[in-house]
Amino acid sequence: MSDTSATAYARLKDRFARIATLNEAAAMLGWDASAMMPPGGGAARGEQLAVLAGVSHAMLVAPEVAGDLAAAGAEGAWGEANLALMRRAHRRATALPADLVEATARANSACEKVWREARPRSDFAAVRPWLEEVVALQRETAAALAGATGLSPYDALMDTYQPGILAADVEPVFAAYEAFLAEALPRAEEVQASRPAPVEPQGPFPVEVQRALGRRLSERAGLDYDHARLDESAHPFCGGTPTDVRITTRYTPEAFGQAMLGILHETGHALYERGLPEAYARQPVGEAAGMAAHESQSLIIEMQASRSDAFLSWLGPELHAAFGGDPAAYAGANLGRLWRRVGRGFIRVEADEITYPAHVILRFRLERALIAGDLRVAELPGAWGEGLQGLLGIIPPDDARGCLQDIHWHDGAFGYFPSYTLGAMAAAQLMQAARIAVPGLDEALGRGDFAPLVGWLRVSIHERGSLLGFQELMTSATGRPLDPSAFMEHLRARYLT
């Protein structure tokens, strides 16, 4: 390693640390906007985030960066991966002209605003022209990124959210799942119908009690509140930074399941952030390995561990102690019947584990066609109904329950949706591997103890940061790249027997 190349790399590390620190500031302000900010603060907050994004982008594309990247050399696997990720970030940032970035930010923000008002009225016509503009700019962005990366336009967008996964990787996985679904869903419905109906716990369930229990459950899952907060927001999420994660949920005194499982879901995200390698904090290689990887960590906690028979048998008495009422409603088996109910619905975020991928497959196909120019925005409602009918045999009665239900496209996020299902599949595959690697994992969950599972995730996933690509990470953790069979096995065992 020459002196010059080491110096150039050191300068880059310093620059990327400053960029990451500004992005941390933006992440905190984003959390505040959702969890704390009074409504009148919105306009100023938008400006603050825009200026931060502008400064951080300018640091990334500054003239001296290209020279440093050309000259820099880094030692060891971590250093090499870090430098490669710096080059990737620079290549993507310089591929997009500033006026396209600005026009995109403006169009996304305008469309999202119109969408927020139009969705309750199911008014697709109002959204259409704005979404057309968003799609047009996304197509431009995709083309520019494709030119810089050698990927296809849609792949270049997907690459934004989950580097290393192409549509060609997703297609066969989704096709296999579609075939599985056609057989599994009717069978799961039959099995469910043959079982006793679940007993509904009777409320009210005081919000204060839910808040305290939610915090306790996330602590059991491993979240350390010296470095975390739990608050409320309209749309639950995990934000903040690795040493200061902020998770949110939504409470209603009429029910507790969604809030408690939602907290466990966000806790999974939070544990990933908390477990990222400290030695590479604020460096690209120290970040999470993409959105599918992130979703695998929330879903392994929420879906795999927290909805397991073992954990529910521990959780039932805890819930009963907190809320009182009929003990039968809190038996582990009853909770399983309550929280693993299968049904064909219109709304993605309310879907069960079996039908959720159908919602994602639909969106993957439609957004790919939109980006390719094979589908026009005006045709979206029709294509949506047709697609959902093919997958689940139902057609939404209106666009509010159809193509207007998600924020993603209306905010310019194309290529994101596959991450949800890739994450669900990865979670099942990781759980399968963890059960082999960690003896007594389910027995521990039966004592409300997540430590064996989370300890394995920490070493196998969290501490790796972005050292490995997604497929390499899966291979290193489970012995093979992502394949959907573990997920299908999991669903068979949970729903079809």
Give the span between the Cα atoms of 189 and 342, in whole angstroms.
Answer: 7
In angstroms, give the least distance from the CB of 294 to a copy of itself.
20
- Sheet architecture: strand order including 238-241: 228-232, 244-249, 238-241
Task: Using CB under 8 A, pick the residue from 63, 76, 194, 226 that binds a copy of itself.
Answer: 226
**Neighbouring C-beta atoms of residue 197, cutoff 10 Å:** 11
Candidate list 5, 94, 233, 243; residue touching a copy of itself; CB under 8 A: 243
Residue ranges of the binding site: 265, 269, 295
The nearer residue to a copy of itself, 47 or 374, going by C-beta atoms, is: 47
- Strand 244-249 relative to strand 238-241: parallel, antiparallel, unpaired? antiparallel
- Candidate ranges 21-29, 81-89, 314-322, 401-409; the one touching a copy of itself (CB under 8 A): 21-29
Judge contact between 209 and 228, C-beta under 8 A. no
By CB under 8 A, what part of segment 33-62 binds a copy of itself? 36-41, 43-45, 47-48, 51-52, 55
The torsion of the CA quartet 324, 326, 331, 336, rounded to 10 degrees, works out to -100
Q: Of the residues 266, 287, 302, 367, which is catalytic?
A: 266
Contact pick of 244, 379, 442, 463 for a copy of itself (by CB under 8 A):
244
32 forms part of the interface with a copy of itself (CB under 8 A): yes
Q: Report the site for a copy of itself in 186-215 (rule: CB under 8 A).
A: none
Q: Which stretch binds a copy of itself (CB under 8 A): 167-175, 240-248, 406-414, 420-428?
A: 240-248
Q: Is residue 64 annotated as part of the catalytic site, yes or no? A: no
CA dist 66 and 350 (Å) reads 46
The reply on whether position 22 binds a copy of itself by CB under 8 A is yes
Q: Give phi and psi for 239, each to the nearest 5.
A: -130, -160
228 lines the binding site for a copy of itself (CB under 8 A):
yes
Does residue number 29 form part of the binding site for a copy of itself (CB under 8 A)?
A: yes
**327 is a site residue for a copy of itself (CB under 8 A):** no
CB crowding 68-98: b at 16 or more within 10 Å, else e = bbebbebeeebbebbbebbbbbbebbebbee
CB of 109 to a copy of itself, least distance (A): 16
Q: Shortest Cβ distance from residue 244 to a copy of itself (Å)?
A: 3
CA dihedral angle for residue 460, residue 462, residue 463, residue 464, rounded to 10 degrees: 70
**Residue 108 in contact with residue 407, Cβ under 8 Å?**
no
* DSSP labels, 102-168: HHHHHHHHHHHHHHHHHHHHT-HHHHHHHHHHHHHHHHHHHHHHHHHHSS-HHHHHHHHHSTT--HH
CB of 103 to a copy of itself, least distance (A): 19
Question: Residue 43 Cβ, how far from a copy of itself at the closest point, in Å?
Answer: 7
How many residues touch a copy of itself (CB under 8 A)?
Answer: 33
Task: Give the residue with the Cβ less far from a copy of itself, 33 or 395.
Answer: 33
Query: What's the angle, vertex CA 431, arms to CA 236 and CA 242, rounded to 5?
Result: 45
Per CB under 8 A, 337 contacts a copy of itself:
no
| Three-class DSSP category at 239 | strand
Residue 210 structure tokens: 């839910």
Active site residues: 266
**Contact residues for a copy of itself, defined by CB under 8 A:** 18, 21-22, 24-25, 28-29, 32, 36-41, 43-45, 47-48, 51-52, 55, 224-229, 240-244
